Amino acid sequence: MKQINTQITFAIIVITGLIVSCKNQETNISNNSDSIISVKVDSILNLMTVEEKIGQLNLPSAGQFTTGQAKNSDIGAKIEKGLVGGLFNIKSVASIRDIQKTAIEKSRLKIPLIFGMDVIHGYETTFPIPLGLSCSWDMELIKKTAQMAAQEATADGINWTFSPMVDISRDPRWGRVSEGSGEDPFLGSQIAKAMVLGYQGDDLTKNNTMMACVKHFALYGAPEGGRDYNTVDMSRVRMYNEYLPPYKAAIDAGVGSVMASFNEIDGIPATGNKWLLTDLLREQWGFNGFVVSDYTGVEEMMYHGVGDLQQVSAQSLNAGLDMDMVSEGFLTTLKKSLDEGKISMETLNAAVRRILTAKYQLGLFDDPFKYCDDNRAKTEVFTKENRAFARQVASQSMVLLKNDNDILPLKKSAKIALVGPLAYTKENMAGTWSVGTPHDQSISLLEGIKDVADENATILYAKGSNLSYDKDFEKIATMFGREIPRDGRTDEQLRQEALSIAAKSDVIVAAIGESSEMSGESSSRSDISIPQAQKDLLQALVKTGKPVIVVLFNGRALVLNEESKSATAILDVWFSGSESGHAIADVLFGDVNPSGKLTSTFPRSVGQIPLYYNHKNTGRPLGNKEGKFEKFKTNYMDVRNEPLFPFGFGLSYTKFDYSNLKLSANQINSDGDIEISVDVTNSGNYDGKEVVQLYIRDLVGTVTRPVKELKGFQKVEIKKGEIKTVTFKLTVEDLKFYNYDLDFIAEPGDFEVFVGTNSDTGLKAQFELVK
């Protein structure tokens, strides 16, 4: 035993010496440093017992430890035995230091733990939900939100985030559409890249960067019926062209880890799918980081009908899964599977090597407590400067859906009746998956309007209705501390109070929509309209004859047929984060001109779902866009084909005109490119920002091609009266797609190009790709 301990101590000294001598060379995670790290990893791997190896693959949820608790807990005992590789859901430097100290001082090999958390759209300073953030179409802004989230989370001891979620979804019934970037693979890929670079920076050893984890791999956003965790089944052509690109963009950006999804692919759960986790991810795409399951993902394979815990654990490891989150199937069964020949030592070692490599890349072997700086926790989290940035981001993410008679922006001296169950609820401003947010310090809409309006403004408030007539539904829609206290008065009494203040006001602002927990995980809805209690309130307000501005809170695209007809204006604010109230008020009063554009199509009816702009044509396309029914054509008898609001849609307080579309050539060859330019004129009365969007259509292909595909966008600021020329460059790479044989090619032929303000409008031109 003494000899073994001496060997361990010597190995650690050697490894520490290697770290010190190579520290100046390790400014980036590069191929050179990879070989250095590989030597270090092998040095430790050779000293590990089988049980310790398996322990590195175990990721239990710790909940919230208090200082000193680690010593007496079941998890603490496992850490001492080297049976835990990392923990998640722990917040605070004191708690994390306490647990890391157990690993470093009590375990045999003193291997540090990795600490993860769902830092999804900010840490304590919270930004808009990802769907809302994507509507900014501003990649630099999005990258900075991830940088700030990493800055705050690492200051509080966390070094690994389960973000970004890049699942493409065309079904707003699915609750987790709120966590993604909408329906388009091109835009989704740009956002995936920006988020990874924001979290990880250019040097993972810095104490203000953290390892990202792209999720949910793969296709999680396409469940049947829009029901969470449900079956996914699609062709490889659709998979490669429409759903996989954002994951690959994250891999190409250098993401350190990948989370397997809950759903099955080709009949095999993703957690244990070798084609997905090895053939595609590692061999085709060259990913060399580690793969973690989602929460109890390994165990859940049993309920898919794949086998018992030992079988599914062995299958997952053999498929390419490296870390088991919560299930402890690896911890409790892999030793037996190794003894029985169901897994090999080579496969086990490969998984352990990936986990240890990640810890080296994060600098944890150099300094296990590098993220445990009490001063950083006090000075870098939820600061005044961070909140000011969150306010700016929120205002850039809001989408103006309607603005009749230019009712917006409002005068700061106006008499305003603020009505609705979402007008005064701090707890619902941050949105779903805001686990680090101090909700009691979020700014409600009522507070924001009062702060931004002039002193001589009149702001009257009434709740107007409960969130829903259904008490039981309201209870599940406001769980996890997002309660909106239910008013005990009758529905009529609530409405009458609202009508009373409306009569004393010039304009009505109706804060209605979803509560934050009506979207997110396990929050699928078969009816994606606003709850009837709020619909009835809105109609009563409209009947007053006063202008009614809907401030729409939502985590998904909604069916808004009635609201779009009756409201004077609609501002979609999503769930805008810590500074929601201030940012909404900034837009309502015109301090910020809205510039957000939808990244998810709003349907007219839930029966149209899935509905998305880049669909295929049929052999019997509808011959009109007026909603006129045509027999034996692809249309509905009871609703027109077109959406209520298309992808890319969003109004401004000013007006932008497009003209003078030019192509630098009408032909390009296989190694050429083409420039497309357009003049955009701000012909309105306000300075503003416009997202200029470029789409193409491949007119003839060996497999059918979409009617339009986004291939470029630029967010430009244009002063009133100014004309700006916006130029795009298309290369042959932009024209490529996966064909029937899954070859990534560009086929010669004619292409249409569209440039405009959304996916349903635009100037059009044509060019040819020649051999």
CA-to-CA dists, residue 379 to 225, 238, 385, 432, 450, angstroms: 46, 48, 11, 26, 29
Whole-number Å distance between alpha carbons of 569 and 563: 9
DSSP per-residue letters across 61-117: B---PPTTGGGTSHHHHHHHTT--SEEES--SHHHHHHHHHHHHHHSSS-PPPEEEE
Determine which helix (DSSP H) or strand (DSSP E) holds 58, and give its type and residue range.
strand 58-59
In sign, the C-alpha dihedral spanning 588, 591, 593, 598 is: negative
Whole-number Å distance between alpha carbons of 254 and 193: 9
Cis peptide before 485 (omega within 30 of 0): no
Q: At what angle do helices 345-361 and 309-319 cross, to 10 degrees?
A: 60
Specify the DSSP class assigned to residue 524. -
User: Are 236 and 184 spatial neighbours (Cβ–Cβ below 8 Å)?
Assistant: no
Q: Which residues pair with 165 in a beta bridge?
A: 215
Q: At what angle do helices 345-361 and 31-45 cross, to 10 degrees?
A: 120
Which residue, among 394, 392, 393, 439, has the nearest Cα to 553 in the 3D structure?
394
CA-to-CA dists, residue 360 to 32, 197, 328, 353, angstroms: 14, 19, 24, 10
- How many residues in the chain? 771
Whole-number Å distance between alpha carbons of 551 and 571: 5
Which residue, among 537, 459, 536, 462, has the nearest Cα to 505 in the 3D structure?
459
User: Are 429 and 442 spatial neighbours (Cβ–Cβ below 8 Å)?
Assistant: yes
Q: Determine the residue type at 264.
A: E
Whole-number Å distance between alpha carbons of 250 and 214: 7
Q: Determine the residue type at 584.
A: I
Whole-number Å distance between alpha carbons of 202 and 37: 17
CB atoms within 10 A of CB 192: 28
Which residue, among 181, 276, 278, 257, has the nearest Cα to 212 in the 3D structure?
257
Q: Residue 677 corresponds to which tokens in the numbers above?
A: 């330019």
Q: Which residues pair with 59 in a beta bridge?
A: 325
Q: Are strands 656-663 and 569-572 parallel, antiparallel or unpaired?
A: unpaired
Whole-number Å distance between alpha carbons of 360 and 34: 10
Q: Are strands 744-745 and 86-88 parallel, antiparallel or unpaired?
A: unpaired
Q: Which residues pair with 528 in a beta bridge?
A: none
Is 294 considered catalytic here?
yes
420: left (phi over 0), alpha (psi -120 to 50) or beta: left
Contacts of 196 (CB under 8 A, 6+ apart): 146, 164, 212, 214, 250, 253, 254, 255
Active-site choice (156, 184, 294, 373):
294
CB atoms within 10 A of CB 470: 14
Q: Which residues pair with 667 in a beta bridge?
A: 768
Specify the DSSP class assigned to residue 258. E
Whole-number Å distance between alpha carbons of 712 and 207: 35
User: Are 663 and 730 spatial neighbours (Cβ–Cβ below 8 Å)?
Assistant: no
Q: Rounded to 5 degrees, what are φ and ψ at 692?
A: -85, 125
**Residues marked as catalytic:** 294
